[in-house]
Amino acid sequence: MAAAWFGLRGACATALAVSTLFILHAFLDWPGNYMEQANQVGELAGFWVAGVIPGWLFDRQQSLLQEIANANEETLLGLVSALDLREHNTRLHSQRVREYTELIGSRFGVDEKTRREIGFGALLHDVGKIAVPDSILLKPDKLTDAEWQEMLKHPEAGYRIIKRIGFLKNAAEMVRAHHERYDGNGYPRGLKGDQIPLGARLFMVADTYDALTSERPYRSPVTYEVAAEIIGKDDCQFDPAAVATFLAIAPEELQMIAERYLDADLPN
């Protein structure tokens, strides 16, 4: 039990405590019989083996799980960085939006696993833009109708890229739905209301907040108050429950996330 709860240290501490009691008992109740004494020592040794080996295995398992989680995280950041090489600053935007979405998700009451999954979906939301040609993605001028049709394919492309990765299954659905709108006028499938995965509904609020409060080549960022007013008034694009959860978050908490990525010179 100690091994499962506290790992190797817990197992050793428990074995030590029991051994001390055992030795005390052996001295106070000396049997005067060497065979009996040998049995007691054998029992004590068996207790250590039975306690310490599961403790070590538990610690080992925990550290392997952590290594897998770190490797997954690095792989995802690698995917986002690949996109960032073409369309600069998308990684900082994606990382900020991930944090905003996870924050809204935790205040919305989602469990830890779901919070992590919607974080993955937010981080990878535009990964499908890898499939959009440079001539369209980086075009400084207005896109033609045909070019827009090409650009509108990126949610489905992103879905296809990550849907086969087991731990990204739910995130893939979120990537596919990240341009849907609560009123049903979004794309690619025109989903409406609760048909849109919860993660995507929370993401839409986070993404819009980040877009409004970040520096863009064509306009200056707006304040929290202005962004909150714009989001609060929009009952077409957003889930009202997601908006209410977002508006209940203290502006300072959102500001702390934004500041973490200010002038960030993160390695690609």
Q: How far is the CB of 49 from Fe ion (least distance, A)?
A: 56
**Secondary structure letter of residue 235 according to DSSP:** T
Q: How far is the CB of 207 from Fe ion (least distance, A)?
A: 8
Rg of the chain (C-alpha set): 27
The yes-or-no answer on residue 129 being catalytic is yes
Q: Of 99, 102, 126, 210, which one interacts with Fe ion (CB under 5 A)?
A: 126
Q: Which of 106, 108, 89, 207 is nearest to 155 (CA)?
A: 207
Q: How far is the CB of 186 from Fe ion (least distance, A)?
A: 11
Nearer to Fe ion, 117 or 180 (CB): 180
d(CA 108, CA 82): 32
Binding segment for Fe ion (CB under 5 A), chosen from 47-55, 125-133, 234-242, 248-256, is 125-133
d(CA 134, CA 78): 19
Binding segment for Fe ion (CB under 5 A), chosen from 66-74, 111-119, 124-132, 259-267, is 124-132
Q: How far is the CB of 67 from Fe ion (least distance, A)?
A: 32
Q: 26 to 85, contacts with Fe ion by CB under 5 A?
A: none
Those residues with Cβ within 8 angstroms of residue 109's Cβ, 6 or more apart along the chain or in another chain = none
Amino acid at 211: A
Given 113, 129, 139, 163, the catalytic residue: 129
Nearer to Fe ion, 126 or 239 (CB): 126
Could you give the residue ranges of the DSSP H alpha helices within 141-223?
A: 145-151, 154-162, 169-176, 198-213
d(CA 79, CA 125): 11
The residue nearest Fe ion at its CB is 126
Those residues with Cβ within 8 angstroms of residue 138's Cβ, 6 or more apart along the chain or in another chain = 86, 87
Q: The tokens of 62 are what?
A: 């925990």
Nearer to Fe ion, 152 or 248 (CB): 152
Q: How far is the CB of 129 from Fe ion (least distance, A)?
A: 7
Q: The tokens of 149 are what?
A: 């049709």
Nearer to Fe ion, 126 or 180 (CB): 126
Spatial contact of 79 and 121, defined as CB atoms under 8 Å apart: no
Nearer to Fe ion, 104 or 200 (CB): 200
Compute how many other C-beta atoms are within 10 angstroms of the C-beta atom of residue 155: 25
Q: Does 173 bind Fe ion (CB under 5 A)?
A: no
Binding segment for Fe ion (CB under 5 A), chosen from 41-49, 55-63, 118-126, 219-227, is 118-126
Nearer to Fe ion, 99 or 126 (CB): 126
Q: The tokens of 84 are what?
A: 């960032």
Q: Which residues are catalytic?
A: 129
Give residues in contact with Fe ion (CB under 5 A): 126
